[in-house]
């Protein structure tokens, strides 16, 4: 599969009736966007706001972040969700680089995050560097949290596809090409390089902890194989409301940095042959089956080494360690990417499970470390839930609007796809 | 600027009292510098001064830890120090244990910077490296020439509140995890690490896996029909409105609530504070997480002796192992002293 990503670099975003992209400026009509979102009768109200890097603005409670894109040739946009079911990862996709759609709303109340566009909190989220089109979504009366999640998820994806459409006939500023061939050919292309795969763990811990693969709830899959370019092209979408710091938003999936870095070494130090996706179900039987299968697939593909990434923490630590030790026992070398819950003082053990075979670990940092977020002039969304969100505590929200909380509250802070330049050391 | 006041702890051997035959020597305090304090004090220059030395026999200390620690603490406090140092203990095991214990006590009680120094195989390292800064030294007094100035320099850095790192400053890592911003993304670091691992080149993991402790199960309850059974949960079930404000994640406390006369938890009476799962079903019927209804039925049918009248609860979501251990250590004692025979521990 060969994918061309045509990047259109966006310098600014503005509201206006004349929608489109011109000279690096994206113009969006908030009334049209609202109208489209409100077609779904599960959503009673939608406020559209812009948040730009450096502005004194706080977006919360953040549900998802999505990069606006359009399939110019081959396939569908967000297949099985917005578009029809169709295999993606081939042909040309145009990307509005530097822009994101951010959905916000108090879906569960304590499982959404914070994005600060300036100040110390901005250092902990990649989304402070983007031009964000924010949708604050209000549910229809009586809507249950999981129905609200589904409605908000669809609103975000539809908005990203709607805005992405403006990129269709724009000439990209740069084109990146990624290619992985069918397995036997790919192995033969670089016969002298080690065959490397990527074991991609998807958050599937239960209701409101879902991830979708081509529209399928990943709880209901057995581990399977994807071309890396499928992931880059919208095959995997976030549908979860979990602690903000280490959930993978749709943007993270679209721009998975492990896939990018493996492609950077493809044909040089290694032969990147494919992605194994697996889940993080809560029943022991499911954990055993999925980790057995991920290990089996590394063997079946003849891999020499893999990177394993986690999503979430606590319960999925067991899936991470099961995957790691079963794959190592197949003679396949592993590096795991995780984050830590070492307590606010950093003195507790960081993971809920461990094994000596996990001897090569990359950490996204300690999610319990406390940060003081100064007040912002503008709040996009609402602060009612700040004391209750995971990582917050009684008194987190101070009268002046500042927030003292664990970095767990910040969307993407300790991301386990290695998105951030954050680590932790032992002092 | 006036010199910092330093108190130094040493054993009977370095105190010039004698060897093993004098290891029962009780704590004593001398004004000024004794033994290795000379070299340390010299290295302090104009910045600090050893104003007193506490000497204690290694056997006495280790056989009378509580009393000895108390006596040493009193002596140290009287000297009103700004900084406390102990050793170096090199590979002397009991000396190392004493240096670690007194340093820990001084830090906790007097609240001043403390530092000690010893060899990596000294049992004092494993026992106290998480509590106090322990500098690395050679295994015998032959290393005093380098250890003494190193301890002096380190103590000064500590007193000034300068940033410290285990490798650069030569101390044993204290198990404290601290976030840092680095040059490369986690993804790049992971791929680089994988390439090294594939080539069998040395690499450094960013988190060394801990050794887990396993708890052996107790013997079965002899007669469950006569047993008092308690319910404990990490599923966050609390009386409606969460009166003690247990956090939705990283709980800093647990709650203790009465279920005397309660045979069913309802939407009106209880809810969950837990932030790690969809709360709809637990809020609609908290018995799903804390099975009071079923326990009452078993009690009525005589299948258990009785249900204990209070339950302990916390939120397991993102709560550190150290906090969890602390909560359990406390309420386990309460349950034991209340005569509880068995506990059903529910999670989520």
**For residue B311, what are its two tokens?**
């339950």
What band does A108 get if pLDDT is binned at 50, 70 and 90?
A: confident
Lowest mean pLDDT among A11-20, A355-364, B6-15, B322-331: B322-331
| Nearest one of A367, A127, A143 to A243, comparing CA atoms | A367
**Residue to substitute from B168, B169, B180, B190, interface A, most A β-carbons within 10 A:** B190
Smallest CA–CA distance from B132 into chain A, residue: A427
| CB atoms A407 and B179 under 8 Å | yes
**Secondary structure element (H or E) that encloses residue B69, with its range:** helix B65-78
The answer, for B194 touching chain A at a CB cutoff of 8 Å, is yes
| CB atoms B185 and A364 under 8 Å | no
Residue whose entry in the numeric block shows the structure tokens 């009525």: B300
| CB atoms B280 and A144 under 8 Å | yes
Q: What is the pLDDT of residue B38?
A: 96
The pLDDT of A84-92, averaged and rounded, is 97
How does DSSP classify residue A313? S
Residue B251 phi/psi, 5° resolution?
-60, 140
* Three-state secondary structure of chain B: CCCEEEEEEEECCCCCCCCHHHCCCCCEEEECCCCCHHHHHHHHCCCEEEEEEEEECHHHHHHCHHHHHHHHHHHHHHCCCCEEEECCCCCCHHHHHHHHHHHHHHHHHCCCCEEEEECCCCHHHHHHCCCCEEEECCCCHHHHHHHHHHHHHHHHHHHCCCCCCHHHHCECCCCCEEEEECCCCHHHHHHHHHHHHHCCCCCCCCCCCCCCCCCCCCCCCCCHHHCEEEEEECECEEECCCCCCCCCCCCCCCEEEECCCCCCCCCCCEEECCCCCCCHHHHHCHHHCCCHHHHHHHHHCCCCCEECCEEEECECCCCCHHHHHHHHHHHHHHHHHCCCCEEEEECC
The answer, for A307 touching chain B at a CB cutoff of 8 Å, is yes
Q: What is the pLDDT of residue B121?
A: 87
| CB atoms B197 and A305 under 8 Å | yes
Cα–Cα distance, B298 to B302 (Å, whole number):
6
A408 within 8 A of A390, measured Cβ to Cβ: yes
The pLDDT of B276-299, averaged and rounded, is 94
- pLDDT higher than threshold 80 for residue B211: no
**Looking at chain A from residue 206 to 225, which residues have their Cβ under 8 Å from any Cβ of chain B?**
206-209
| CB atoms B320 and A342 under 8 Å | yes
Q: What is the pLDDT of residue A395?
A: 83
A287 within 8 A of A294, measured Cβ to Cβ: no
A296 within 8 A of B298, measured Cβ to Cβ: no
Q: What is the pLDDT of residue B1?
A: 58
**For residue A52, what are its two tokens?**
């730009």
B209 within 8 A of A317, measured Cβ to Cβ: no
Residues of A in contact with B318 (CB under 8 A): 243, 313-314, 341, 367-368, 390-391, 408
Residue whose entry in the numeric block shows the structure tokens 């402070």: A128
- pLDDT higher than threshold 70 for residue A109: no
The pLDDT of B293-319, averaged and rounded, is 94
Q: What mean pLDDT is reported for chain A?
A: 96
pTM above 0.90, yes or no: no
Smallest CA–CA distance from A361 into chain B, residue: B205
Q: Nearest CB to A362: which of B180, B189, B198?
A: B189
**Looking at chain B from residue 303 to 332, which residues have their Cβ under 8 Å from any Cβ of chain A?**
316-318, 320-323
- Dmax over CA atoms of chain B, in Å, equals 80
Residues of A in contact with B320 (CB under 8 A): 341-343, 348-349, 368
Q: What is the pLDDT of residue A356?
A: 93
What band does A111 get if pLDDT is binned at 50, 70 and 90?
A: confident
Cα–Cα distance, B93 to B122 (Å, whole number):
5
Cα–Cα distance, A155 to A43 (Å, whole number):
9
- Dmax over CA atoms of chain A, in Å, equals 64
Smallest CA–CA distance from A407 into chain B, residue: B179
Smallest CA–CA distance from A194 into chain B, residue: B198
**For residue A169, what are its two tokens?**
């006939």
**Looking at chain A from residue 182 to 201, which residues have their Cβ under 8 Å from any Cβ of chain B?**
194, 196
Q: What is the pLDDT of residue A349?
A: 87
- pLDDT higher than threshold 70 for residue B213: no
- pLDDT higher than threshold 70 for residue B228: yes
- Per DSSP, helices labelled H in A203-300 are 228-232, 250-254, 257-264, 284-300
* Residue A232, preceding peptide bond in cis (omega within 30° of 0): no
Q: What mean pLDDT is reported for chain B?
A: 94
The pLDDT of B188-212, averaged and rounded, is 94
The pLDDT of B82-91, averaged and rounded, is 96
Residue B53 phi/psi, 5° resolution?
-130, 130
Cα–Cα distance, A63 to A132 (Å, whole number):
13
**Looking at chain B from residue 257 to 286, which residues have their Cβ under 8 Å from any Cβ of chain A?**
275-280
Cα–Cα distance, A229 to A273 (Å, whole number):
11
More confident residue, A49 or A208: A49
The interface predicted TM-score (ipTM) is 0.97
The pLDDT of B101-128, averaged and rounded, is 94
Q: What is the pLDDT of residues A260-317, one digit of tens each?
A: 999 999 999 999 999 999 999 999 999 999 999 999 999 999 999 999 999 999 999 9
The answer, for A384 touching chain B at a CB cutoff of 8 Å, is no
Cα–Cα distance, A271 to A265 (Å, whole number):
8
A247 within 8 A of A314, measured Cβ to Cβ: no
**For residue A93, what are its two tokens?**
């996709």
Q: What distance in Å separates residue A197's CA from the closest CA in chain B?
A: 11
The answer, for A145 touching chain B at a CB cutoff of 8 Å, is yes
**For residue B92, what are its two tokens?**
């002397």
Q: What is the pLDDT of residue A110?
A: 66
């Amino acid at each position: 599969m060969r994918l061309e990503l045509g990047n259109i670099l966006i310098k600014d975003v503005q509201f206006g009736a004349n929608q489109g992209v011109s000279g690096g400026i994206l113009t969006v009509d908030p009334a049209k966007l609202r109208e489209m979102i409100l077609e779904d009768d599960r959503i009673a109200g939608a406020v559209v706001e812009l948040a730009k890097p450096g502005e004194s603005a706080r977006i919360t409670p953040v549900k998802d972040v999505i990069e606006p894109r359009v399939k110019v040739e081959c396939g569908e946009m967000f297949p099985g969700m917005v578009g029809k079911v169709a295999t993606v990862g081939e042909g040309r996709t145009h990307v509005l680089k530097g822009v994101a759609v951010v959905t916000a709303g108090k879906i569960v109340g304590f499982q959404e995050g914070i994005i600060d566009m300036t100040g110390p909190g901005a250092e902990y989220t990649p989304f402070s560097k983007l031009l964000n089109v924010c949708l604050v979504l209000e549910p229809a009366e009586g809507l249950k949290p999981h129905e609200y999640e589904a409605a908000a998820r669809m609103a975000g994806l539809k908005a990203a596809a709607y805005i992405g459409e403006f990129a269709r006939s724009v000439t990209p500023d740069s084109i990146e090409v990624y290619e992985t061939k069918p397995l036997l050919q790919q192995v033969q292309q670089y016969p002298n390089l080690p065959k490397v795969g990527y074991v991609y763990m998807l958050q599937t811990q239960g209701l409101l902890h879902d991830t979708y693969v081509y529209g399928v709830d990943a709880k209901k899959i057995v581990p399977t194989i994807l071309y890396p370019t499928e992931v880059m092209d919208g095959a995997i979408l976030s549908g979860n409301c979990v602690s903000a710091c280490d959930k993978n938003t749709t943007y993270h999936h679209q721009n998975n940095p492990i896939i990018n870095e493996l492609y950077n070494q493809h044909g040089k130090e290694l032969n990147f042959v494919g992605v194994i996706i697996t889940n993080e179900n809560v029943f022991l039987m499911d954990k055993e089956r999925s980790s057995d299968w991920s290990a089996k697939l590394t063997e079946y593909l003849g891999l020499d080494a893999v990177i394993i990434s986690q999503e979430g923490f606590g319960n999925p630590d067991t899936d991470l360690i099961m995957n790691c030790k079963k794959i190592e026992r197949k003679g396949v070398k592993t590096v795991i990417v995780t984050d830590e819950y070492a307590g606010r003082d950093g003195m507790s053990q960081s993971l809920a499970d461990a094994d000596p075979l996990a001897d090569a670990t990359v950490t996204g940092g300690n999610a319990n470390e406390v940060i003081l977020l100064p007040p912002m002039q503008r709040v996009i969304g609402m602060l009612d839930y700040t004391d209750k969100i995971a990582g917050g505590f009684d008194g987190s929200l101070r009268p002046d609007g500042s927030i003292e909380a664990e970095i767990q509250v910040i969307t993407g802070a300790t991301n386990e796809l290695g998105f951030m330049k954050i680590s932790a050391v032992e002092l | 600027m006036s010199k910092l006041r330093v108190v130094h702890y040493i054993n009977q051997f370095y105190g010039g009292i004698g060897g093993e035959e004098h290891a029962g020597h009780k704590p004593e305090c001398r004004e000024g510098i004794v033994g290795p304090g000379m070299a340390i004090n010299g290295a302090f220059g104009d910045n600090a001064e050893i104003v007193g030395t506490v000497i204690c026999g290694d056997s006495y200390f280790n056989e009378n830890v509580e009393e000895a620690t108390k006596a040493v603490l009193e002596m140290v406090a009287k000297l009103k120090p700004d900084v406390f140092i102990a050793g170096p203990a090199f590979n002397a095991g009991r000396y190392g244990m004493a240096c670690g214990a007194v340093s820990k006590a001084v830090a906790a009680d007097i609240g001043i910077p403390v530092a000690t120094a010893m060899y990596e195989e000294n049992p004092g390292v494993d026992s106290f490296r998480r509590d106090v800064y322990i500098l690395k030294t050679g295994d015998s007094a032959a290393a005093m020439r380098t250890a003494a100035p190193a301890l002096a320099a380190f103590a000064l850095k500590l007193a000034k509140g300068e940033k410290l790192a285990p490798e650069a400053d030569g101390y044993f890592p204290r198990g404290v995890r601290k976030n840092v911003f680095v040059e490369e993304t986690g993804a790049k670091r992971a791929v680089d690490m994988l390439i090294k691992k594939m080539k069998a080149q040395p690499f450094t993991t960013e988190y060394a896996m801990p050794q887990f402790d396993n708890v052996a199960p107790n013997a079965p309850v002899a007669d469950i029909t006569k047993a008092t059974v308690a319910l404990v949960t990490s599923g966050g079930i609390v009386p409606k409105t969460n009166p003690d404000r247990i956090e939705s994640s990283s709980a800093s406390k647990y709650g203790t609530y009465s279920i005397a006369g309660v045979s069913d938890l309802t939407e009106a009476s209880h809810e969950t504070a837990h932030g790690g799962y969809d709360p709809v079903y637990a809020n609609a019927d908290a018995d799903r997480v804390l099975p009071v209804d079923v326990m009452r039925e078993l009690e009525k049918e005589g299948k258990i002796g009785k249900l204990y009248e209070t339950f302990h609860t916390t939120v397991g979501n993102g709560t550190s192992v150290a906090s969890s251990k602390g909560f359990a250590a406390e309420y386990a004692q309460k349950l034991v002293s209340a005569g509880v025979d068995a506990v059903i521990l529910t999670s989520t």
